[in-house]
Chain A
């Protein structure tokens, strides 16, 4: 079967007519397969949803009990048949529960990688390569400028700053799902055992991670009565980056604003956001990971989506791999 017949972009999202399903649809559909819980991939209001147990749990936490009509959990490596199409979920290493979805029919296998990364991450199952004919890759950081450093060294910068500025609150911006928990877990692994204060938007997800056996240590709400900001001197406070520009941030005395994101690789980005301590910690592949993955998998075709398609397509051309951008509508990155 020609791959373009098996799976192609439709207004709702990637569509597989033979299997009667969409992957990560942006509008409500009858049957959806969801790679992971970030809101640009997992939306409420579908009929049937097939995803990993953890992704389903995360969707329930974010959207409430009736986020879909019916759900079906699938384990990594388990095969599910949908009409004439066989699908299988494989770990993507992006956030807790994140999966790549291999879609196979008539001797053609397409792997929708969703968002993925290859750096080690203590909060989720590591990425697993999936042999395929067509590899659909994200390109969020698809430019040669992106080289994510060792996250332990980045966390080291935060610890150094805590020693240098022991009187200042260190406000770490991190997206609520995945990044926040990863930053906390990295801090714990680096030996930081003080209580860590979290913004209210993080509570449910952090509780869920802890319940899934990921130890995040002593977490406390970053709530105070007005005017008692002294409590947070020298403390680490983690919250969604949007909250830092908000009145919420005023409760902290002379804060060092930090932001854990792959975008922090570029100084001007950090400067524009008023970030004082950028931490280059990303849940996506950087350029060397993207190119190494494509080389390792050696698919006959690469479809590039979700970011800077043109540079990665150009690289594939130079490497003699057939590649083209896969134009998906309505996809904006929430994570990173």
Chain B
């Protein structure tokens, strides 16, 4: 447990990706089975451990300490699991010798009968040292937040074994904690694990954005283009009586989309976009992401919802045809099979993502900027001979989005960055003008911490340091007046209404595109401009 606890302690405070990868791969190398597999599961979000109610933990700690002293402590620390881990020992205790393994701790917890939990947790807290206690409490209360994605954990596995992360992705959803066959294969002690059934989620293939020069030297004849639809990417899996709809990250969202699940009449694994509205074959329009959101994040769905916001699938690809794994075949071969399958699928719930004919990159560039449908956010470019590879490899698939939105905003607050940027003010909150209480005021509309060059960061940092008006902990308020302040051009991918923000809008993916030191703040954009972008 100590090795895992030490890993968590460091991961939480390590901002840099490379630092996290190093910590993780060292942990996978140095920790024995099955502990490392359970550690991997805890980080990747696949761990199954009996949960413990915070109320019970509070009772356990109050058995051993005064309530007023506990309250002072909790007020100071602010986190229940951390408070309990720190105050559990009233005297100095030496717990260096005892170190129950993570695997053993999890197995014991999952074996307990209901009445045994309380005394078992008490005994365990007595055995663990402070840091391990914290890790254990976070696991059983489900509050483990360490800023590491499953993808990053897999990348660390790949680094430690010298394998390609795509191979791990391909296997991932067919394996379960503590991943013994996976580690045996990674360490060269056994063959690659074989999937027992294809009826699981398979990691999806992702694209990289087209950047300056990426398309130079590539022959348009080797590629197909499809529209990039603004819905959510899903995977459909149908085998025998099993019908499943998964989100891009592998969450089972079948329950929220009974209309789709009922219409699945194929055997295999399909990749597509989940949208709301009508299919091309039923001649009704595709509706916006805002409409789709009405159907998302629900466990169940009402009859009225189904009627008002009908869902359908626009199919992109086919991974398994029946139980045949066709991922190694080419895009064209897979698409031929997909076409036949969609032909036989219900016309109101399934259509095929159409190809966009083009003969030169210039032509495609024009098309992506003026797409024929407002729900299109750009084009996808796919190599005709590419296999279906899990993960985000550069080369086989590109995404080329239509131009981002741009506004001019005024910097309002700045916060110091992390790691390399810890001595720079590099996280900026920016605002636009609106009328509040009868006068023109700036209202914050978003936060951005990238997009600028190192030289530009120096300039912004200097401005912040020289024009601070107030400090709130790590945050500095910056001078932002009608005639004095700093204007930046902010680019973003989309904008939605949001009740969570004071301004009522939330941007997707904002970044600072250009510094506009030449512009007086009063000439920055107004909130009305942003609101109009939503209507569009």
Contact = CB atoms under 8 A, between A and B. Distances in A.
A60 interface: no
Contacts of A270: 13
Nearest to B415: A274
Contacts of B455: none
Interface stretch (B69-77, B357-365, B445-453, B502-510): B69-77
B69 A267 contact: no
A204 interface: no
Nearest to B68: A314
A246 interface: yes
B76 A145 contact: yes
A143 B76 contact: yes
B13 A145 contact: no
Contacts, number: 98
A98 to B, nearest CB: 22
Interface in B51-69: 65-66, 68-69
A39 to B, nearest CB: 22
A47 interface: no
B474 A272 contact: yes
A244 interface: yes
B473 A144 contact: no
A165 B20 CA distance: 11
A147 interface: yes
A267 B143 CA distance: 14
Given A144-B69, A144-B87, A276-B15, A254 B82 contact: no
A20 interface: no
* Interface size band for B: 35 or more
B500 interface: no
B12 A271 contact: yes
A156 B431 CA distance: 46
Interface string B399-418: 00000000000000000101
A179 B419 CA distance: 24
B141 interface: no
Contacts of A268: 77-79, 82
B422 A257 contact: yes
B434 interface: no
A245 interface: yes
A165 B90 contact: no
B83 A288 contact: no
B344 interface: no
A298 interface: no
A257 B421 CA distance: 11
A250 B457 CA distance: 13
A113 B419 CA distance: 39
B14 interface: yes
A267 B12 contact: yes
A147 B130 contact: yes
B529 to A, nearest CB: 35
Interface in A271-285: 271-272, 274-278
B418 A274 contact: yes
A76 interface: no
B86 to A, nearest CB: 4
B351 to A, nearest CB: 48
Interface string A241-269: 00011111110001111000000011110
A144 B14 contact: no
B146 to A, nearest CB: 11
A244 B77 contact: no
- Decide if the interface of chain B is mainly helix, strand, loop or mixed: helix
Nearest to B6: A157
Contacts of A249: 422-423
A57 interface: no
Given A144-B87, A276-B13, A278-B13, A254 B68 contact: no
A292 B93 CA distance: 13
Nearest to B76: A143
A272 B12 CA distance: 12
A315 interface: yes
Contacts of B420: 254-255
A245 B423 contact: yes
A288 B15 contact: no
A162 B66 CA distance: 41
Interface in B1-38: 9-10, 12-16, 19, 22-23, 26
A145 B73 contact: yes
B201 to A, nearest CB: 33
A143 B26 CA distance: 35
A33 to B, nearest CB: 32
B89 interface: yes
A143 B13 contact: no
B86 A145 contact: yes
Q: Which of B79, B86, B416 has the most CB of A within 10 A?
A: B86
B416 to A, nearest CB: 7
Nearest to B12: A267
Given A267-B82, A288-B91, A276 B73 contact: no
A145 B77 contact: yes
Contacts of B82: 266-268
A271 B415 CA distance: 13
B10 A277 contact: yes
B130 A143 contact: no
A250 to B, nearest CB: 6
B92 A147 contact: yes
Q: Which of A144, A278, A292, A314 has the most CB of B within 10 A?
A: A144
Interface in A223-251: 244-250
Contact of B14 (A276, A292, A308): A276
Contacts of B91: 288, 292
B423 A143 contact: no
B168 to A, nearest CB: 23
Contacts of B76: 143, 145, 266, 308
Contact of A275 (B13, B72, B79, B83): B13
A308 B66 contact: no
Interface in B322-364: none
Nearest to B89: A147
Interface string A295-324: 000000000000010110011001000000
A245 B416 contact: yes
Contacts of B90: 144, 288
Q: Which of B65, B76, B89 has the most CB of A within 10 A?
A: B76
A315 B73 CA distance: 13
Interface string A144-161: 111101000000000000
Nearest to B82: A267
A139 to B, nearest CB: 11
Contacts of A257: 422
* The 9 nearest A-B residue pairs measured at CB: A145-B86, A144-B87, A288-B92, A311-B72, A249-B423, A274-B422, A145-B73, A276-B13, A144-B73
11 contacts: A144-B69, A164-B22, A165-B22, A245-B416, A250-B423, A254-B420, A265-B86, A268-B77, A270-B13, A276-B15, A292-B91
Given A256-B19, A268-B82, 5 more contacts: A145-B76, A147-B86, A165-B19, A244-B423, A245-B422
